[in-house]
Amino acid sequence: MNPVLALEFLLLASLWGASFLFTRLGAAEFGALPTAGMRVALASLFLLPVFLVNGVWADFRARARPILFVGLLNSGIPFALFAYAVLHITTGLSSILNATVPLSGALVAWLWLKDRPGGSRMLGLAIGFAGVTLLVIGKSGFSAMGVASGSSTASTLLAMGACLLATLCYGIAASFTKRYLTGAHPLATATGSQIGAALGLAIPTIVLWPSQPVSATAWGAVAAVALLCTAIAYILFFHIIEKAGPSRALTVTFLVPVFALVYGSVFLGEVITPWMIGCGVVIVCGTALSTGLLRLRWLERAT
């Protein structure tokens, strides 16, 4: 990877890592659904000019329905779930659970598209989900694993479940995209999906809009997560895919929790425990195997 591409890679990881921090700051005052709704609405407005790129608007019009629908699966629902989660567990813990996205994607592709993983990928799925299980039922207790102040065990479990449900949505969206949107212009999919998510979250955002005035900090956080962590990050991600390929671009997932843990510790005073780090390493190793980024040749030959 050349130096310029490596810097872009680190920038993308830092932006996506910051999304958990900004979401937490916004959701604390706006609530989960309005935060997610504004995130995709503002991102849609920022991305609208890409329709002027040759072929993007025509491609969107030809595939509008599946693109709008995938926006709910790939942005609307997951963003709302993570906005709820970070109100009850730390941003660092949320980001570690988010690292299971490739695991969910591989599992959904296996069940839906019959893309059966080989021996190494099967082992990776098992290791990754074992890491998640350890993270959830860790013997260190929820308070040591990243529970937000004032949260109960039940709300913590619901928040962790919301994170995992969000990753499942991402996995379904990936297989849906492969089946119904193969060949679509990536900018048409990126922009159209944000519009679809914005339309889907419009009514909940309006109905649940906070009755009390919201601080400038919360407004700034929502604007940042929409423009920096969504719109610009999408454009940067597709640029990296074009230059380095999808497999290498996917490895950004491994760095996102690193940035999220640092941001949470520095700006929110969140505690990073050895148990969280250890489970995160297990999840990352499982993800690397399940996506084919790492392979055990002896196991591939055996299967």
> Per-residue pLDDT tens for 47-106?
999 999 999 999 999 999 999 999 999 999 999 999 999 999 999 999 989 988 888 888
Q: At what angle do helices 77-85 and 153-180 cross, to 10 degrees?
A: 160
pTM as predicted: 0.88
pLDDT score of 155 more than 60: yes
Q: What is the pLDDT of residue 108?
A: 87
pLDDT score of 181 more than 50: yes
- Residue 227's pLDDT band (cuts 50, 70, 90): very high
Here the tokens at position 139 are 């013997």
If DSSP codes are grouped into helix, strand and coil, which group holds residue 117? coil
Q: What is the pLDDT of residue 295?
A: 67
The span from the CA of 16 to the CA of 47, in Å, is: 17
> Per-residue pLDDT tens for 231-276?
999 888 888 877 776 656 767 877 889 999 999 999 999 988 888 8
Cα–Cα separations (whole angstroms), residue 152 to 140, 143, 147: 16, 9, 8
Q: Look over the chain and give the mean of its residue pLDDT values, rounded to a whole number.
A: 87
| 8 A C-beta contact, residue 236 and residue 15 | yes
Q: What is the pLDDT of residue 271?
A: 87
Q: What is the pLDDT of residue 247?
A: 58
- Residue 224's pLDDT band (cuts 50, 70, 90): very high
Q: What is the pLDDT of residue 139?
A: 42
Q: What is the pLDDT of residue 156?
A: 86
- Residue 151's pLDDT band (cuts 50, 70, 90): low
Cα–Cα separations (whole angstroms), residue 300 to 124, 140, 142: 12, 36, 38
Taking the CB of residue 114, how many other CB atoms lie within 10 A of it? 7
Q: Which tops the pLDDT comparison, 163 or 290?
A: 163
Here the tokens at position 226 are 């929409």
Q: What is the pLDDT of residue 299?
A: 55
> Per-residue pLDDT tens for 105-144?
888 888 888 877 677 778 888 888 888 888 877 643 444 4
